[in-house]
Amino acid sequence: LDASNCVYPTEYEGHFDSLMISKEEIKEVVRSLAVQINEDYRGCRPVIVCVLKGANPFYQHLLDALQDCRQGYSMEFIRVSSYEGMGSTGNVKMGLLDKDLEGLKEKHVILVEDIVDTGTTLSHLIPILKEKVNPASLEVCSLLSKRIKVPQKCKAKYVGFSIPDHFIVGYGLDYNELYRDTQDIWVISQKGIDLDPSSFK
Ligand code: 5GP
Ligand code: MG
Ligand code: MG
């Protein structure tokens, strides 16, 4: 992949080993995911739930593409995290507020995720949501799914890209809260890993 047209904040120079997915490729895949969702949900108005923070850029582009398909929806946001640094902790923290779940009750729900890695996050989240909001249906749309050696504990119905097992950043995906602010998806370099996030003000 040719990274010469990619832009990113100047302070990230040298922090990426290689380009994994370009913004053009993302755009195409997002469009095709929206077409699939529109085929499956035509005639109903799913609640599309952004799993913050990582999924946010994908979520915004997916909603745009759904509008192009004339697919109606409503929007909700939840916050969940299981990663610290580069390893899945298996320890899923859920900032689920009952008032945020109100809008999901008995609706057709689509959870929008940035990436499914081990599936631990979803395998915790989904049973809780099912119990609390009794959705008419519940599906997951994830931009990325990692090809890992063991079976994922939970799979997304709609997947943009299946990727090899590298730690990646960009387009919402962070490393210690850095690198969310790029348009493309990158494999992080050693220099990127070694960076002290507190060096920026
Ligand atoms: P899982 O619970 O499926 O193992 O991991 C899900 C969460 O871990 C994702 O929503 C994402 O926040 C984080 N994650 C997993 N793999 C990566 C990765 O390669 N890069 C980054 N930045 N985050 C990841
Ligand atoms: Mg996520
Ligand atoms: Mg993260």
CATH of 22-166, one of 3.40.50.2020, 3.40.50.1220, 3.30.460.80, 3.40.50.1820: 3.40.50.2020
| Model confidence pLDDT, tens digit, residues 43-52 | 999 999 999 9
Percentage with pLDDT > 70 across the chain: 93
How many whole angstroms separate alpha carbon 50 and alpha carbon 76? 6
Starting from the CA of residue 92, give the closest ligand.
Answer: 1
Domain ranges of the chain: 22-166
| Model confidence pLDDT, tens digit, residues 67-106 | 999 999 999 999 886 656 676 666 666 667 777 899 999 9
Please identify which residue in the block is written with the tokens 């969940």: 80
Q: With contact defined as beta carbons under 8 Å apart, do 130 and 107 qualify? A: no
| Model confidence pLDDT, tens digit, residues 171-195 | 999 999 999 999 999 999 999 999 8
**Residue 81: alpha-carbon gap to chain centroid:** 12
- Say how many Å lie between the CA of residue 176 and the centre of ligand 3: 7
| Model confidence pLDDT, tens digit, residues 128-180 | 999 999 999 999 999 999 999 999 998 999 999 999 999 999 999 999 999 99
Kindly report the protein residue whose alpha carbon is nearest to atom 23 of ligand 1.
173
Its ipTM equals: 0.96
Output the CA angle 169-51-164, nearest 5 degrees: 35
Kindly report the protein residue whose alpha carbon is nearest to atom 13 of ligand 1.
83
- Catalytic residue numbers? 117
Determine the residue of 52, 59, 83, 169 to mutate for testing ligand 1's pocket, defined as the one with the most ligand atoms within 8 A of the Cβ atom. 83
- CB count within 10 Å of CB 25 equals 16
